[in-house]
Amino acid sequence: MATTNDLKNGLVLNLDKELWSVVEFQHVKPGKGPAFVRTKLKSVMSGKVVDKTFNAGTKVETATVDKRTMQYLYLDGEEFVFMDHLDTFEQFHVPKAVVGSNADFLLPEAEVTVAFHEGVPLYVELPTSVMIEVTYTEPGLQGDRSTGGTKPATVETGATVQVPLFITTGEKIKVDTRDGRYLGRS
């Protein structure tokens, strides 16, 4: 248990049997009336973001989230298999629904952070950017320059990324894993 005075970004709360991560918070002390805490909470499971206001000093239940650095091994049917390669070498099966859109940029042997609550995987965090190979894109035309437009490119994981016209099949590009933006090439 904690109070609203202990809130900080990233803290996970257990509200109404659902886990919520604190995205931002603000302590407000109006000239009239009691102080309160305005928060923006993100559902750990669904990703839904809500605004919630608490009276100052209200007790809130915190959840223990265990974050571990793991290595992605392979896809086994509907589950991704990760290994705790730093500690126990134990393998964990994480459902596709938990990995979600992160699967678009999840490369074999990549180091990721897997968060658990009471042994249940909650989410997978990728590094903010990855180097990934373009497996197919339309050839560029003479005169295509970096200041031109973009074209779709399929990368080795099967995801599609918008890239500049000069990028060719076989090149390695840097991609932002949060929104799928092209960041550069190697």
Looking at the structure, do residues 119 and 140 belong to the same domain, yes or no?
Answer: no
Q: Residue 17 maps to which CATH number?
A: 2.30.30.30
Provide the pLDDT for residue 36: 93
Provide the pLDDT for residue 105: 94
Provide the pLDDT for residue 139: 84
Looking at the structure, do residues 56 and 71 belong to the same domain, yes or no?
Answer: no
Provide the pLDDT for residue 141: 67
Asked if 60 and 39 count as a contact pair (C-beta separation under 8 A), the reply is no
Instruction: Name the helix (H) or strand (E) containing 182.
Output: strand 182-185
Total domain count for the chain?
3
DSSP 80-106: EEEE-TTTT--EEEEEHHHHGGGGGG-
Report the DSSP pairing between strands 79-83 and 2-3.
Answer: unpaired
Provide the pLDDT for residue 178: 87
C-alpha 102/C-alpha 111 separation (Å) is 13
Provide the pLDDT for residue 97: 84
Provide the pLDDT for residue 142: 61
Per DSSP (E only), the strands in 29-167 are 36-43, 49-55, 59-60, 66-76, 79-83, 91-95, 111-117, 120-125, 129-137, 150-155, 160-164
Domain extent at residue 115: 66-125
Provide the pLDDT for residue 162: 93
Q: Residue 111 maps to which CATH number?
A: 2.40.50.140
Looking at the structure, do residues 73 and 53 belong to the same domain, yes or no?
Answer: no
Provide the pLDDT for residue 144: 54
C-alpha 33/C-alpha 105 separation (Å) is 49
pTM, two decimal places = 0.75
Looking at the structure, do residues 70 and 121 belong to the same domain, yes or no?
Answer: yes
Domain stops at, among 80, 100, 125: 125
Instruction: Collect the ranges in the chain with pLDDT lower than 70.
Output: 141-148
Find, among 89, 94, 141, the residue nearest to 114 by Cα: 94
Q: What is the DSSP letter of 171?
A: -
Q: What is the DSSP letter of 96?
A: H
Provide the pLDDT for residue 88: 86
